[in-house]
Amino acid sequence: MSFMPHVNDLVSRGVRAVVNMCDEYAGPEKQYKRQHIQQLRLPTVDHAEPSLSALEAAVSFIRAQKQRGVRTYVHCKAGSGRSAAVALCWLVAHRGMTPQEAQTYLNEKRQVRPSLYLQPNVRAFCNKISGE
């Protein structure tokens, strides 16, 4: 199976960094390398909540890429749990949203797990950001 069309689509959209939350899939690493796409892989079992350290690493990676003017694509298998938890944490940390506002924002964009903001590690991340 070739992932080049997918990778080429990312490149055409200006993506040069990827956060891969899949435990079950390492991603098209050779194609990423050929296209100079940097991948941060944080293996998280499907249907499981990302660890606090994975959420922190993902948000830190995205922030560093953004500071360099690099677009980052965050994914898991379905895009509704693991990667959505990362997106929610990013919105809280860098857009100043509350966890509930970030959940609503994500739900308006695509169908994500409806209670991401209540997951213990997401709550711990958000509490750490807010200084609680």
User: Catalytic pick from 22, 76, 89, 126?
Assistant: 76
What would the DSSP string read from start to end of 45-91? -TTSPPPHHHHHHHHHHHHHHHHTT-EEEEE-SSSSSHHHHHHHHHH
Longest Cα pair distance anywhere in the chain, in angstroms? Answer: 47
Radius of gyration of the chain (CA): 14
d(CA 115, CA 103) in angstroms, rounded, equals: 8
With beta carbons less than 8 A apart as the criterion, state whether 87 and 99 touch: no
Q: Locate tokens 């940097």: which residue?
A: 38
22 a catalytic residue = no
List, in sequence order, every residue forming a beta bridge with 41; answer none if it has no partner. Answer: 20
The catalytic residue positions are 76
